[in-house]
Structure 1
C-alpha cells in the first residue's frame, strides 16, 4: 500500500500547473472560477495559501490552532509567476509530508480537530484538484486529473461517501457540490473527514481509512508498522467489514475500525472498533483483537475502556454490546475489566432471536 503523500501532492500540482501555464496569457482577474465567487486569479492564490498553510501545520507541529501566517504575492506578479508560487508551495507541502513522522498529528478543525501527514496530503491534493477544476470551468478548458489520485482522496478524507464504480473524479466533484451523479441528490454542504484518534496512556487508537482497510484485508499492513506476528486474523476480518461498509456508503469513521498503536515505539499491536453505527435504540456492538505477541499486557482492556467511554459519552448511544466465545476466558476477563457485564439468559435468548446470536457466544453489555 502506498500512503497518500508527497508523490501524490506533486502529481496533483503538476496537473494544475500544466493547465494554468496553457492559459497564462488569459485574463484571470476578470473571470469567475466556475461556481465560486472568486476570480480565477484569486482562486490560484487561495490554493497556494492552503498548500503553505498545511505545510506550516505539519512543520510547526501546531496542535491547538492554525499557525498565524499567510503568504503575499509580490505586486505586479503575472500569471506565470503565480504558477511558480503554486509549484513552490506544493513542493514545500510535499517535503513537509515526507519528513513528518507518521504518528505526528497537527491541528485541523474538521471534524476531530487534528490530521496526520496523510490527511494533510489528501487535503492539499483535494484543494489543488478541485480548484483547478473551478479555474478550468471558468476559462472554458477541459480538465480531468488521474482517477487513482481522486480515488485516494475519497478513501482518505471522504470515507463517508459511497464510491461510484469507475468514476472517482465524478464522485469527488459530486461530493463537493460541483457536479451531479445519477440517482443521488445534489450536495449543498460538505466537509472532508480526517480520521479520528483516541488516546490512552500507552496507546493511540487510530481510525483506519477505507484504503488502509482494503490493504489490511488483502494481506498488507494498512500503512502501519506492526509488532511481530501482527496483524492477527480478527483485524483483517474487521478490515473487510470496513471495506464492505464503505462500498455501500454506510461507513462512518467514528463507528469503524481503529488500529492500536503503542506510543513507545509506534508499532501497531491490534485492532478494535464497532460492527457498524448504533441502531435506532442506541445499541452498538464492539469487537477487538490483538496480535499474539502483544497479549497479556493489558492493551485490549486499556483500548476498550477508552473506546467505550468515548462512545457512551454520545447522546445517540445507550448500550454497548460484545459477543465472546464461551471458551475464551482471556477475552472474558478483558471485557469484565472494561466495565461490561454478562447479560442474563433472557437477554441472550432475545439476542439469539433478534440478532442471530450463535449458541456458542456469550453476550456482554455496558450501559451509558
Structure 2
C-alpha cells in the first residue's frame, strides 16, 4: 500500500533539507521559480503550512482556520529557514501519528475538511513542490523519491492519470500542479488537489476510499482500516478493483467511486458502498453496496444508502440513481425501498429500482 503519514512527512522534510542546505550560501532574496515570493519567503510559507496543518488537527478546527501564523525572526537566513522547516515538519509528523482515526480538521478544498492522512499528504506536497520552486531559482536539483511522489498523486490527485512508469512520478506531479509538461497532455493552468469526502450517515460515516486504499483492498489488504470480523467482504474487494482499474486508466472521478462504511462509535469498517462510475449523459448513476455478513440485519445499509443518495441527488449532474438487484435478494430490495427507491422496469433478468432528484 502507498502509505501516507508521519513517516512520509519526515521523509519529505529530510529531502528538502538535503536539497537546500548545500545552497545556503546563494542569494535567497531572488524570486522562487514561478512564484512572486523570494526563496526565503517561500521557505517561510512551507513552515507555515506545516504548523498550520498540525494546528488544524490538534485544534479540532471545524469551520475555519485556527487564527495564527508563524514568521521567521528578523534577520533569519537560509540555514535558519531550513531549521524551521525541519522543526515544523517534526510537529506535523508527530500530530499525524497521534491524532485518532476519524478526526477531521477544517480545510477549504474541496469538502471543507481533511483527516490526518489528508493533512499529511498536503504537507508532503507543500514541501516537495515549494522545495522545487526554491531549487529552481538557486540552480540545484530537487527531484524527490519516486515512491513519495506516487503516494502524493494517489492520495491527493485521484483525478489525474497516473504515471506510466516509476521514473515518471515526479514529472507527473509537476504536471499535475502546473509546474511542468508531459507529452500528450495539455499544460494545466489551474489545478486543485482532492481530499477524501466524508458523509455522515447516522451510526455510520461514509468515507471515500482513495486510489491508494482501493489498490490495497483489491490486493487483499484492509485499505488501512480496521474491519469487523469477516471483512472486507468479496463485493467490497470487487468494487475496490473497479476503482483501481479506473484510476490506472485515467478515468476515475473522485466522489463517484467507493466509500467505506465505518461505524462512528469505534471507527470499525462494516462494508462498502458507492457508484459504478460517474453519472452518464442522462444523469443516471448506479449504486451498489456490500456489508460484511456479521453487520447485516442492523439497518446499516439503509442508513448509509439514504445518506449517500441524498448527497448524490443534490449534485446538478445527477437526475436519477439506479440500483439493480437479483430477484432472490429480498434483503437488498428492502434496503433500497427503505432508502426511498421505487421499482421500475427490469434490467434483463434483474430487478431495477430508482430514486429521482426532487423537481
Tell me the distance in 2 between the aligned counterparts of 1:151 and 1:124. 15
Cα pair 2:2 2:151 within 8 Å, conserved = no
Deviation at 1:294, TM superposition (A): 0.2
Aligned to 2:4: 4
Aligned to 1:364: 353
Query: Is 1:297 equivalent to 2:298 in the alignment?
Result: yes
Q: Deviations over 1:173-193 (max 9, x none)?
A: 000000001000000001110
Calculate the aligned-residue CA RMSD, in Å: 0.9
Cα pair 1:255 1:276 within 8 Å, conserved = yes
Query: Is 1:275 equivalent to 2:276 in the alignment?
Result: yes
Tell me the distance in 2 between the aligned counterparts of 1:106 and 1:251. 26
Aligned to 1:58: 57
Cα pair 1:16 1:129 within 8 Å, conserved = yes
Aligned to 1:21: 21
Alignment of 1:1-368 (within 5 A): 1=1, 3-29=3-29, 31-166=30-165, 167-344=168-345, 348=346, 351-352=347-348, 359=349, 361-368=350-357
Cα pair 1:56 1:67 within 8 Å, conserved = yes
Tell me the distance in 2 between the aligned counterparts of 1:50 and 1:189. 20
Cα pair 1:2 1:223 within 8 Å, conserved = no
Deviation at 1:150, TM superposition (A): 0.4
Tell me the distance in 1 between the aligned counterparts of 2:71 and 2:49. 12
Tell me the distance in 1 between the aligned counterparts of 2:111 and 2:77. 39
Mind listing any 5+ residue stretches in structure 1 that lack a counterpart? 353-358
Q: Deviations over 1:185-227 (max 9, x none)?
A: 0000011100000002201000000000000000000001000
Tell me the distance in 1 between the aligned counterparts of 2:356 and 2:62. 33
Q: Deviations over 1:93-145 (max 9, x none)?
A: 00010000111010000100000000000000000000111111111111210
| Superposition TM-score, scaled by structure 2 size | 0.97
Q: Deviations over 1:31-60 (max 9, x none)?
A: 221111111111111100100100110111
Q: Deviations over 1:232-272 (max 9, x none)?
A: 10000000110111112221221110000001111000000
Tell me the distance in 2 between the aligned counterparts of 1:320 and 1:263. 26
Cα pair 1:204 1:263 within 8 Å, conserved = yes
Tell me the distance in 2 between the aligned counterparts of 1:275 and 1:155. 20
Tell me the distance in 2 between the aligned counterparts of 1:129 and 1:123. 10
Deviation at 1:3, TM superposition (A): 3.2
Aligned-partner SS, 1:332: helix
Deviation at 1:2, TM superposition (A): 5.7
Tell me the distance in 1 between the aligned counterparts of 2:302 and 2:132. 48
Mind listing any 5+ residue stretches in structure 2 that lack a counterpart? none
Cα pair 2:2 2:212 within 8 Å, conserved = no
Aligned-partner SS, 2:255: helix
Aligned-partner SS, 2:318: coil
Q: Deviations over 1:272-315 (max 9, x none)?
A: 00000101110000000000000000000000000111111111
Aligned-partner SS, 1:229: coil
Moved over 3 A (4+): none
